[in-house]
Amino acid sequence: MSENATDITNDNIQDNNGNDSLLTGGSLYESSTDKYKDNLSSAITFFVCGGIGIILMILNDIGIIKIVTKDAPSFLFINIVLGLLFIGFIAIGVWSLKYSNKIKAKAETEDKKAANVLNWLEDNITKEDIENSYTGDIQEEMKYFNRTAYVKEQLTVQFTELSDEEAENFSEQFVEKMFN
């Protein structure tokens, strides 16, 4: 076998870099709630940095702190550049806040959808159904993949509007809840 090939015969499945590929998440799904929190924290960070920067510029200009002296030949240029930079930070913070509010509305809709899907799973899929979905003597590690595949298949039949990533995410959540 070549040096770059992935060896799946070992108990530890590793990728080309030697990382355990079973330990890293395969799902690229990011919920709108997570996106909302991320954008909100970005907005707050930009507001804080812009605000502190403008305050420091004002304190420097009135002489309370000395970062750049007024005698410096580039004082006006530095003030203009820094002022525009900090105003830009605040503008980006406003934009991020508006965008995060749009995402929040989407997140609330997705949360209702997720509750609906997970309730359906709890009402219609049992642990025994999942266990009976595969046959044969397979390794314990591989059972997880068979379980999630079965649940994902049931979801895609029942909820045709779910994207592949959403169905995978819901099936992983449900299997984790049922078997852990």
Q: Which residue has the tokens 């509305």?
A: 105
| pTM assigned to the model | 0.58
**108-160 pLDDT tens trace:** 888 888 888 888 988 988 888 888 888 767 887 788 888 888 899 989 898 88
Instruction: Look at residue 112 in the predicted model and tell me its pLDDT.
Output: 87
Q: What is the mean pLDDT of residues 102-113?
A: 86
